[in-house]
Amino acid sequence: MSTTRLGSRSGPPEPHGSGFTCSQLIAAAGVAVAALLVYLCTMYPEVAGGDSGELVAAIASGGVIHPPGYPLYSLLARLFIHLPLRTLAWRLGLMSAMCDAVAAGLLCLGVARWSRSVWAGAAAAGMFALSPGIWEYAICAEVFALNNLMVASLLLLAVLYTDSKNSRYALAAALVFGLGLSNHHTFVFVAVPLAAWALWHGRDDLRRPRAIALMASLFAAGLLPYLYLLWAGSRPAAVAWGATNTWAGFWTHVFRREYGTFQLAVAGVGSQVPGSELVAAWFSDLFRQVGWWGTGLAAVGFVASTRRTEWNQLGAAVMAALALTVLAFAALANLPVTDSLHRGIVARFWQQPEILVCAFCGLGLATLARAFRRRAVVPALAVGLMILQGALHWRRMDRHDSRVVRHYADEMLRVVPRDTLLVTKGDLITNTVRYLQVAERQRPDVRVVDQELLGFLWDRGRLAALYPEVAIPGKRLGPGGFSVKDLFDANIRRFPIVVCGGLKAGDNSASSTYEFWPLGVCERVYPRGEPVDADKWLSESEAALPRIENAQQPQSSWEEIVVRDHWGARQTRAAQLINYAGALPERRPYLRLAAVMLQALVRDDPAPPALVYKTLAIALGRAGLQTSEDRQQAATAWREYLRIAPTDDPMLPQIRKELERLAQ
């Protein structure tokens, strides 16, 4: 077998079999250590948004994570959670950092062996480790870094098997296949093409009965972590999902039947999204991750991988895995990518194909090396690519001092009355509040009931064990079960009720019976018609306004959503005053006060949404427009609203007429 460097005319001989050269091992270790140091310098010190709070709280309380349960992650996380280091969230962030750092080292070894260029391996690993999509989830508690480690391990084993045809690498890959599926279902899209390639490439050895039996046994051994779900589901836990202590509940959980297997959202939340739209979004995101230069190198690398007979099948298999990952996910995912929040959720699953793209980037760099006669040019390009990748994204990825999400949950728990029934909606709210309750023992008197979880039959039993004093008026929340109004009716005389995140879409049952008065970023629930002291509420709601750092946060991040909620609480408070005042002359001073609140919001918020201007103009108009200054301020507010207003607002013609009247 030729040992010529891919893309160069000559070079020192490379090892075959299990050995790596000293330079390869040094490069891999160097990249891994450098990546880990970068991650540690930029890691969240506290809980992050999304699923992070749930993961930490579930592990800390011994519960089961949302489907498919991620048992391999859970078992490893139970080790990290006991480290005597900083916060629980930081410890699981450390686990993510170590997984992605080791993945970078393995990717370096694999590409260096494939390309016969240590610098190509280092460049591929560096671009992977420092791309924002990888970096963002390497610095917080998340399941994706472990999946990246599994993909990098499988790719390295495939390279070693191609180079040596030693069946032990195929056997090890069978174990990794099972372990990968014990963490993340999407791993199958990489593993199946590589498994098919290995069975064809090593058909003389791997199709023998003994080899097949060994691989099947190792694959099954890799799936054994799923037994953890049966054990964890049989124990009471403060944060848990599903009924995995029964076989029916176990298989429902493992196959994500409540979501739809390989889908991202339950029915009613997700929607059918054209696959072409998701593929286009992936290509767009790829340029953000590795730049046009990385995309070009990857294209060159794929072409180069098919030029040598002993490697062209592996190149085709890796490309098939890349295509299958992108296309299959595009066909099955059911979240839109038109808004930044959902696009960010979908983009988390593009880390897996990104590893393969970065491998091709390394191959491309090795191929282009033959265009340079001076050997120092290739190391310079490799180092330059890694520095460029880090410099471009460091500022956005640096979360070493980011406590915004944690403070968001702090503020919710700070303002709710004692013994509150806290009815939540949304991962950001539910997961962060439960994290503080479990990990830091904050406000155990607050009973957290999530509306989405109440839609599942098993949640009633979990709540009955956790909060026996809370009345659940049926089997499940939603069609065929009880409504939000029924939940309020059963508990309004037992506890103060506060809603955070709004009510479940489509359930308007409580609107005619209950009123919702803003309390920070949440709302206190009162029976309609029950007198509310507006002046007392004004004082209490002012004290409840969130005290959150409102500096500009990274775009499309959970921190950005927190800051928008910080300003939104002020707008909602003013809007409540307008609704309370109505058309009653004796309440007109409240309209003037609402206008003052909104004027301060327009002044202080660096990017007020259109609704703030609309609400301000309405408040001024209902207050009477008594002075020319009032008329001028109302006209200014309407102009700003028209500048950024939604084009489908049916009130636009009426607003333009009002603006003409004010200008007279």
| pLDDT tens per residue across span 591-634 | 999 999 999 999 988 888 899 999 998 888 888 887 888 888 88
At 207 the pLDDT is 80
d(CA 407, CA 509): 32
CB 583 within 8 A of CB 596: no
Tokens of residue 295, six digits: 């995309």
Per-residue pLDDT for 356 more than 50?
yes
In which band, very low, low, confident or very high, does the pLDDT at 276 lie, cut at 50, 70 and 90?
A: confident
**Overall average pLDDT of the 84-103 stretch:** 95
At 32 the pLDDT is 96
Per-residue pLDDT for 369 more than 90?
no
At 265 the pLDDT is 55
d(CA 73, CA 87): 18
Cis, bond preceding 589 (omega within 30 deg of 0): no
| Residue of higher predicted confidence among 636 and 343 | 636
At 65 the pLDDT is 93
Write the single-letter amino acid at 60: A
For residue range 192-232, list pLDDT tens digits in order.
Answer: 999 998 888 877 788 888 889 999 999 999 999 999 999 99
The most confident of the ranges 18-27, 425-434, 579-588 is 425-434
In which band, very low, low, confident or very high, does the pLDDT at 259 lie, cut at 50, 70 and 90?
A: confident
For residue range 394-422, list pLDDT tens digits in order.
Answer: 988 999 988 999 999 999 999 999 999 99
Per-residue pLDDT for 5 more than 80?
no
d(CA 395, CA 644): 29
Closest CA to 193 of 314, 98, 298: 314
**Overall average pLDDT of the 174-203 stretch:** 91
Instruction: Kindly report, as residue ranges, where domains of CATH 1.25.40 are found in the chain.
Output: 554-664
For residue range 494-535, list pLDDT tens digits in order.
Answer: 999 999 999 988 888 998 899 999 999 999 999 998 888 889
- In the beta sheet, which residues pair with residue 424? 450, 500
| Residue of higher predicted confidence among 650 and 343 | 650
CB 521 within 8 A of CB 500: yes
Can you list the positions of beta strands (E) in 488-593? 497-500, 514-519, 522-527
| Residue of higher predicted confidence among 28 and 115 | 28
- Cα 300–Cα 305–Cα 311 angle in degrees, nearest 5: 175
At 260 the pLDDT is 62
Average pLDDT of the chain, as a whole number? 87
Q: Which residues of 555-566 are buried (b: 16+ CB within 10 A; e: fewer)?
A: eebbbbbbbebb
The hierarchical CATH code for the domain 554-664 is: 1.25.40
d(CA 492, CA 525): 8
DSSP state of 5: P
For residue range 104-116, list pLDDT tens digits in order.
Answer: 999 999 999 998 8
d(CA 194, CA 209): 20
Per-residue pLDDT for 267 more than 70?
no
Per-residue pLDDT for 7 more than 50?
no
* Numbers of helices and strands, H then E, in the chain: 29, 5
Tokens of residue 154, six digits: 């499988």
The number of C-alpha atoms within 13 Å of 616 and in the hemisphere containing its C-beta is: 28
Closest CA to 132 of 281, 282, 290, 283: 290
CB atoms within 10 A of CB 417: 14
Per-residue pLDDT for 554 more than 80?
no
Tokens of residue 199, six digits: 């069975």
Residues 6+ apart with CB under 8 A from 121: 24, 27, 28, 107, 108, 109, 110, 111, 112, 113, 115, 362
